Amino acid sequence: MKVLFICTGNTCRSPMAEALLKHHAPHVEVKSAGIYAMDGQQANEHSMTVLEEKGIELKHRSSPVTTALLEWADIVLTMTSGHKSMLAMDFPGFQYKIATLIEHVSSEGVMDKDIADPFGSTLETYRETYKELDQYIKQLIQTI
């Protein structure tokens, strides 16, 4: 299984999700990218701090979404419904493999709940984002 996580800049949420899935399910191939990412940026300092606190390694450089990445992935999981919509418009033909992380793991068909962007917030906000992502990643592992 090849999983691609998508967020906005590929420095906060999607790198954290990637690191969490690699940590909890090392057998799964996983990458991340951002809709507006610049190539080669380091992960956000707070993201790195939170993962380090949990003993999770994060070696990351940001990457923009590309057709090659979408072709590589078996499933593409976005952090928000806005990301999902943008991908569908910018990369037609891949809609069948794109879902928000929350809708993918939800048994109740939740379609409108997003994982909020912690960018520019406090370390405590990043800790809350980590907790939310960790919960959904553990649910994701049950589905793959």
Q: Compute the C-alpha angle 92/117/64, nearest 5°.
A: 40
Can you say whether the dihedral through the CA atoms of 83, 40, 25, 95 is positive or negative? Answer: positive
Is residue 13 part of the annotated active site? The answer reads yes
| Active-site residue (options: 7, 12, 112, 127) | 7
Active-site entry in 74, 90, 117, 134: 117
According to DSSP, residue 44 is labeled P
- Choose, from 13, 90, 114, 127, the residue flagged as catalytic: 13
90 is catalytic: no
- Kindly give the residue spans of alpha helices, DSSP state H, lying in 54-118: 67-72, 81-90, 101-105
Q: Among 11, 14, 20, which residue's Cα sits nearest to residue 135? A: 20
Contact yes or no for 95/88 (Cβ under 8 A): yes
Contact (CB, 8 A) for 65 and 87: yes
Neighbours of 67 (CB within 10 A): 11
Annotated active-site residue 12? The verdict is no
Positions marked catalytic: 7, 13, 117
